[in-house]
Structures are given as structure tokens and as C-alpha cells.
Structure 1
Amino acid sequence: VSEAALSRARCGRYSQFEIQRGLPVRRMVRWFDGDGVDWVAKTELVRRINYRRLNLVSDPPPVGRFDVILCRNVLLYLTIELRRKILDRLATVMRPGGLLVLGAGETVIGQTEAFRPSARYRGLYEPAVSEG
């Protein structure tokens, strides 16, 4: 991820086109304020998000328990061994019921047992619950 992309994300400013892509109007109004032609994330939302650069292959997993991890269009460039390693590490920092968001061409199926497809949200993944 480029520092420019992280900086832009930290600003929490989105165009009308960007904000409407998959975000229901009720949530848009709840979490964003209109500012001219843009929408700006409310302080309450910005405080809940941690944007940082992380090397998924070599850096230790982030500290904390996460509700959502966005890892879109990264794994498809890696070997199956690295994908498994990264997914297993990400699963250790997810909260139960948390969600992993991958790119449209990516999946956990056949990659790891640490995640399973979400029963609630099509195309997203939840940490697998170990039996026993």
C-alpha cells in the first residue's frame, strides 16, 4: 500500500461515487457528513479505524483483536504457502464473528482451515471456530 493511499484514507473524504459503492444510505448518513460534493467520515468513525502499512509476509501480526480486516487483491500475487501463512496469522488477531474481506478473485477455500465463508455476508470470511 502506498503512503499516499494511506494518507488519503486517513482523511476520510470520499466523492459521491465512492461513498455510494456498497454503502447503504442509512449507514452513509449515520457515519458521514456531506461537505460540498464530498462526504467526510465523522470523528466517531475515524477514531475506530487504524490505518497502517504492514508487510504481511515478514512483519509480526498487528497487536489487538480486529472486527474487520481488509486484505483485498494482495494474496493472489503470492504462493499458496505464503497465502496460508498470512491467513493463519490474520486469524489469530480476529475477534470471534469478525470478518475478513478479500478481493473478488480471492478465496480462503483450499488455502487454510483458519477461515470459512461467512453465513451472514456473501463473499466475506469469518474465523473458523475450533471444535472442542
Structure 2
Amino acid sequence: WIGQYLEPLGIKLAFTPAGIVIALIFISLPFVVRTVQPVLQDTEKELEEAATSLGANRWQIFCKVILPSIMPALITGFAMAFARAVGEYGSVIFIAGNMPMVSEITPLIIIGKLEQYDYAGATAVAVVMLLIS
């Protein structure tokens, strides 16, 4: 549904790496939100108010007060999102296209190897994905 608006502009998403990236962002974003949200809710408002009273603008408050407190949760969320994206099959299968060296994804390589009864090859690819995750 996004592609119908981008196609007249010359931007093609289906069966391209850009489409895969967008699909992975949509499926991985909840991991980041679910790890950062509780930390933001527990952040003390007094720290922001103190920074404001000392003359800090909004950007300075974000960079020097909020960002350092949420950085561990942000890194954790991005790590979980990356691990999920490495092995994602369900949503990406429809947008990938499986064109060799263009939009080929590793879960499709594993499925192809399993269909050819190449269990050792499928296991090797899966182990590499596991190590990357």
C-alpha cells in the first residue's frame, strides 16, 4: 500500500533491498519501543526541570539528560531488533523476491537447502545466522 504512492515518483520498493529494510523496520521496531518505554516512564521529571532552570534548551536536555539514561535500554532494544531481523521469514518473504545477489534473504536460502535435502548446508547457514544474532 505504500508502493502505490511511491511508484509514480520512480521509487520501487517491492523486490528490492529497500523494501526488505522497510519490512524489517516495521517488524523490529516493537522490540525497541518495549525496552525504551519503561525507562522513559521511570525517568525523573525533576532532572529535566532542573536542566531547564539552569538554561538548557530542549536539544541539550535530550542529549545530556534523557539520552544517557535511556542508552542501555536503547542498545538492548536495537540488539533484540537486529537478532529478530536476521532470522525474519514471515513478513519479508512477500517483499524479498528471492533474486540472487539482489533481494535474496538467508531464511529463503535455508528453505531452499531443506527442499533439496541439503541438511548440512541448511544447518551451516543457520549456525552463521545464529552467530551473527
- TM-score normalised by L of structure 1: 0.26
Is the radius of gyration larger for structure 1 or structure 2? 2
Q: Of the two structures, which has the highest relative contact order with CA contacts closer than 8 Å and spacing of 6 or more? A: 2
- TM-score normalised by L of structure 2: 0.26
Structure with greater proportional helix content: 2
